[in-house]
Structure 1
């Protein structure tokens, strides 16, 4: 495997630069050195698809082991796409020994520079406590770019999957997924979604998935409460915007970005997701089962019934008034309510549009 390094990196490393011997772009990567907020960062991208990762906060000792850090980074970014471990092992076996070379040409340097620009723009997302930058790397891999004149704009992670499927076959992804039935309580009405969700997502990501599944606007606070068979609260999960919430003596509390659903979802018999504390929209989440061989690395809506209410409608009583007015064109408030509803962008649920949005939710 070739790591084509810019002059900035080569000047930092005490390594022998090898001649370029690999011409398969998939087994070639390009790397650059940046300084962001007075700390060293290394950005590495694949020459075929511009998929890659960022390392941040490197010290002098880290550069001595940069080859291992890059190899581990490549393995980790492939794992983050849920590519099978045996496929990753096969890739490294085919790539053979990792060597440092000079960059392979202007096209690859331009792609690398574009990725570096994304990382620099995302400096507020850098995790100073971690070397491998998961969130920044995800944003870098969801940045659209045009690989060539004959290929349209695409996301690097999509191009990576396509490249790997060409070499290793269609079934390169395998993971567990939770089969979740989510029912929004609307009093005499309800709206229901059934989702397949990769088990590795955090509750922060689950919140984003539910927002898309119900077409909410994510403009209010929210939380999750997990209960056992007797109705005892096992865990309350809050967002980072609620750091000042007083802990409950009867239930432990955790931040949603720090808890993955696979760590808790098998033990919880019922999960209540509450969105908008004013209107109080409660969504009951029931685990229907676990899919052991899910072949997608994104969530999927497989069933949907009913529409959610407009935002800020006033809870269940306000929603009932809204329906009464909207179902009667002769009502004196009908035109005003219709105009207000339109200004909210309120529309009937569309499962195809929802699944297109869910396709990209975990790579933002």
Structure 2
């Protein structure tokens, strides 16, 4: 089992999760895990990379050739160098000295960094994925990435702002609740773990 910290990169609003995850999960299943634990809606494209997409920097891989990316097969129509995410497990591309990057929504560019905190043996009936703790609710989708989300929070916090009413209406439409109830610091690991139990059983093959 890998104890992994998943953090949203570049955000001044702290959004992170500490997750225990089976290293044998294929990356396409890891994508499904990250959607649940972060709180995304899985309505946009995604890809994994062993280098920060913004800097190209790789850690612990100096002996290998250029940066590698993994994603769903249909993306190879536009990127012949893309490797298939369903052909490789998390433990092969993520280790203590080797972070992994996960980009969700190529327009808004929500970038996540995965770092291994600890590696331990797993019990025979242990759940394959568990959220230990975390901070910050998932940003709202289609908000213009990190900068757009921070702008949203700034306007919501200022009732005198000329766009406050417009932003509040948008948040209410997206969440189904009044904007006054929107709490960017709120994260409930119990909700995430309930969803994970449905998708990833304690033993047997990963849920499809």
Same fold per TM (> 0.5)? Answer: yes
Q: Which runs of 5+ in 2 are unaligned?
A: 51-57, 177-181, 201-206
The CA distance in 2 between the partners of 1:358 and 1:314, in whole Å, is 28
Change (3 A) 1:289 1:299: same
Q: Give SS of 1:352's match.
A: helix
Cα distance in 1, alignment partners of residues 194 and 60 from structure 2: 35
Partner of residue 322, structure 1: 152
**Larger relative contact order, structure 1 or 2 (CA cutoff 8 Å, min sep 6):** 2
1:1-364 to structure 2, matched below 5 A, reads 177-226=1-50, 227-229=58-60, 233-248=66-81, 253-266=82-95, 269-294=98-123, 295-345=125-175, 348-362=186-200, 363-364=207-208
- Given that 1:298 and 1:361 are in contact with CA atoms closer than 8 Å, whether structure 2 keeps it comes out as no
Question: What is the SS of the residue equivalent to 1:287?
Answer: strand
The gaps in structure 1 that reach 5 residues or longer are 1-176
Q: Which structure carries more helix by proportion? A: 1
Name the structure 1 match of 2:203: none
| Aligned counterparts of 1:234 and 1:268: Cα–Cα separation in 2 | 16
How many Å separate the matches in 2 of 1:224 and 1:202?
Answer: 12
Please report the RMSD computed on the Cα atoms of aligned residues, expressed in angstroms: 2.2
Conservation of the 8 A alpha-carbon contact between 1:224 and 1:236: yes
After superposition, the C-alpha distances for 1:250-293 in whole angstroms (9 at most, x for unaligned) are xxx42111211133323861111011111111101001121213
Q: Distance in 2 between matches of 1:359 and 1:179?
A: 17
* TM superposition shift of 1:301: 0.5
Taking structure 2 as the reference length, the TM-score comes to: 0.79
TM-score, with length taken from structure 1? 0.47
How far the C-alpha of 1:210 sits from its partner, in A, is: 0.6
Q: What SS does the aligned partner of 2:42 have? A: coil
